[in-house]
Amino acid sequence: MEFTPDGSTLCIGNSAGTIRFLDHYTLDKLQDDCVNSERTPKPPITKLILASDSKHLATMDVDLCVCLFKK
């Protein structure tokens, strides 16, 4: 779980292998969930890091697979 640097968005990586973006105040979903892996079943996300520009996101799953996302 990580907040964007401006504090407006909460990013959550979960045990289903997806990433959810929520409004920090209302907890409403801001967009569709992102998928960390195309594998089935999807491995749980264990680490999530946002860049200071809030445009780049890195995740790591239980298999130590790293995924990079760009907004």
Enumerate the domain spans of the chain: 2-70
Query: Going by CATH, does the domain composed of 2-70 fall within 3.30.70?
Result: no
Per-residue confidence (pLDDT) for residue 27, from 0 to 100: 94
18: tokens are 């997806």
Per-residue confidence (pLDDT) for residue 37, from 0 to 100: 75
- On whether the CB atoms of residues 64 and 58 are closer than 8 A, the answer is no
- On whether the CB atoms of residues 26 and 9 are closer than 8 A, the answer is no
Question: 11-32: per-residue pLDDT in tens?
Answer: 999 999 999 999 999 999 999 8
Per-residue confidence (pLDDT) for residue 36, from 0 to 100: 78
52: tokens are 């200071």
Question: 22-59: per-residue pLDDT in tens?
Answer: 999 999 999 988 887 787 888 999 999 999 998 899 99
Per-residue confidence (pLDDT) for residue 12, from 0 to 100: 94
**Average pLDDT estimate for 5-10:** 91
Report cis status (omega within 30 of 0) of the bond before 43. Answer: no
